[in-house]
Structure 1
Amino acid sequence: MAERAIERVVAVDGIELCTEAFGNPADPALLLIMGTGASMLWWEEGFCRLLAEGGRFVLRYDHRDTGRSTTYPPGRPGYTGADLVADAVRVLDGHGIAAAHVLGVSAGGALAQLLALGHADRVLSLVLVSTSAALPDGRELPPPTEEFLRFIASAQVDWADTDALVEYQVAYARLLAGGRRPFDEPAARSLVRQDVARARDFTASRHHDTLPEGELPHAPLSSIAVPTLVIHGTADPLFPLPHAEALAGRIPGATLLPLPDAGHGITRADWPTVVPAVLRHTAMR
């Protein structure tokens, strides 16, 4: 039987960050950073356990305004994007970890880049999934797909109605899946329901959509000096593949692993590819 994951609330600077650890603390640490408005549940437990079984001490955590971490009143988050970067450092400090490999997906990939720029001594390597450059360089990249833009512009949801909220989140997950592979709706629905039930206030996750950037690092992405692996679905509707190609091109020595017909994020179908790739990459140091 697999060992029970260890949940710990890191309380620092008046903030509570709910974290969960998998594996042996003596193994190299791998910090997982999820995307906009998403709690740590979106790093599925099975994925975390596979990484832990591969010899990594895996940490996932709830961003502010998600899951069991500090939640703010409606319309008054009181923090910035830069504070979310600092929260990753707080999680490492709370677990006594000097430096970790960092795996970020979507906006979590942008936070991981900023972490490597602003706190280079805390990052051993980067794995950037379904994301784009955290700092613009002026080049023009393709926008999200028309289907994605139509959904965002037209979708309406009553955030006070749990059933309606679940339906909206499932529809959004289906859209992000990219449409080229079968969509596991029962699994998505189960995960969304768990996420809604577990959150202090699920509606607070909307704060992530309007956060000010805060004070971000000024160094270019070309100054990132750690080994970097960029993983990206070829059917990503939010960040088409050229975003990943451009990102890999801006970080010295970065490699790109395309996932054929995959959408946005890491699905169970890609675990057999992604888990070994992450373990190989994080074995570099």
Structure 2
Amino acid sequence: MTSVRANGVELGTEHFGRADDPLILLVGGTTMLTWPDGLCARLASAGRRVVRYDLRDCGASTTLDPENPGYELRDLAADAAALVEALGARSAQLGGIGVGGMVAQVAALDHPETFSALTLVGTRPVAPGPADADLPDHDPAVMSALFSRPLPDWTDRDAVAAFAAAGAGLLGNDPEQARATAVRIWDRTPSNDPAVHAANQLGMVFSRIDCAPRWRHRLGELGVPALVVHGRADPFFPVGNGEALAAEIPSARLLVLDDMGTALRDSASDRIAAAMLDL
């Protein structure tokens, strides 16, 4: 892992593969660990340079005040484009998961010369907040159960891990994978501030940034190959969101994974890598 300065901020990155291979840049959603190690390694073994990174106010990237972020969605999109240049590449295949998928969509639209292909996982074509009328919103029963739980002591590593594992089943995810990821995120959080730990674990900073203007009506402008991956068991962004993305991006194809919820499962790494390499 290393820090790379791009667009005026330090972005925490991790590199897989050879520096002279074609670049795949993976946007954290919000931390880089939302992209499984096995998937990154599989892509690298196929001759790709893979770099996954943390968004601002997450992980090893510049962290100021996650509760009052002083930047917008388009700043995060500009970070992605600037990072490609800072890494010495002319262009990159771009991947985003969850809220990172929103960053990836805007980055590909705003910087078409920088990104040669797009992978969008478990995301939707509108910002956090109310969904468009034709898009399925969060499952209300799941959201009620998820957000009615008492929050852990964010400075207690074991409590945070148990909280993540307990919520995983509601989100269609693997509890043990969620526990292990939460521990890794906790261990690499550079502050013991509870607000920073909460931001790293929950990605709540994204609900506090300005995501205007809308970009859904621009998706038809995307002229690069695109892969949309979505879990059929995703209650947060139900699969209709992925179907809408695939329908509105001209060169997109849809890969629906029946046993996937909100998170990429380690067990699906080979299948997803093969689809990404086929772009």
TM-score interval, smaller chain: 0.7 to 0.9
Q: What's the CA shift for 1:100?
A: 0.3
Deviates more, 1:210-219 or 1:138-147: 210-219
Q: 1:218–1:243: structure 2 CA closer, same or farther, 3 Å change rule?
A: closer
Match of residue 138 from structure 2: 144
Cα-to-partner distance string for 1:119-166 (whole Å, 9 max, x where unaligned): 000110111111111479954212222332113431221334443333
User: What does 1:100-179 align with in structure 2 at a 5 Å threshold?
Assistant: 100-134=92-126, 138-157=132-151, 158-177=153-172
Map Cα deviations across residues 202-224 of structure 1 (whole Å, 9 max, x no partner). Answer: 23443223222256769611111
Q: Which moved more, 1:114-123 or 1:92-101?
A: 92-101
Distance 1:15 1:240, change over 3 A: same
**Contact (CA 8 Å) 1:111, 1:134: kept in 2 or not?**
no
After superposition, the Cα gap between the structure-2 partners of 1:234 and 1:154, relative to the gap in structure 1 and judged at 3 Å, is same
SS at structure 1 position matched to 2:278: helix
> What residue ranges of structure 2 are gaps of 5+ in the alignment?
192-196
Aligned to 1:193: 183
Alignment partner of 1:110: what SS? helix
CA shift at 1:73, angstroms? Answer: 3.0
Shift of 1:115: 0.7
Displacement, 1:31? 0.6
CA distance in 1, matches of 2:278, 2:24: 13
TM-score by length of 1: 0.85
Are residue 39 (structure 1) and residue 62 (structure 2) matched? Answer: no
Q: Distance in 1 between matches of 2:144 and 2:12?
A: 34
Who is 1:4 aligned against? none
Q: How many residues align?
A: 268
Q: How far off is 1:9 after superposition?
A: 1.1
For 1:199 and 1:187, how far apart are their aligned partners in 2? 18
- 3-state DSSP class of the match of 1:120? coil
Q: 2:119·2:227 contact (CA, 8 Å) conserved in 1? A: yes
Distance 2:141 2:44 in 1: 37
Matches within 5 A, 1:1-285: 7-35=1-29, 38-73=30-65, 75-134=67-126, 138-157=132-151, 158-177=153-172, 183=174, 185-201=175-191, 202-205=197-200, 206-213=204-211, 220-281=218-279
Find the aligned partners of 1:235 and 1:20 in 2 and give their Cα distance.
29
Letter of the structure 1 residue corresponding to residue 15 of structure 2: A
Mean Cα deviation higher: 159-168 or 48-57 = 159-168
Would the alpha carbon gap of residues 209 and 46 (structure 1) be closer, same or farther in structure 2, given more than 3 Å must change? same
Q: Using the alignment, how far apart are the partners of 2:243 and 2:119 within structure 1? A: 14
Amino acid at match of 1:67: G
Taking structure 2 as the reference length, what is the TM-score of the superposition? 0.87
Instruction: After superposing the two structures, state which structure 1 stretch, 115-124 or 63-72, moved more.
Output: 63-72
The sequence identity of aligned pairs, in percent, is 37
CA distance in 2 between counterparts of 1:144 and 1:74 reads 24
Query: How far apart, in 2, do the equivalents of 1:70 and 1:195 lie?
Result: 15
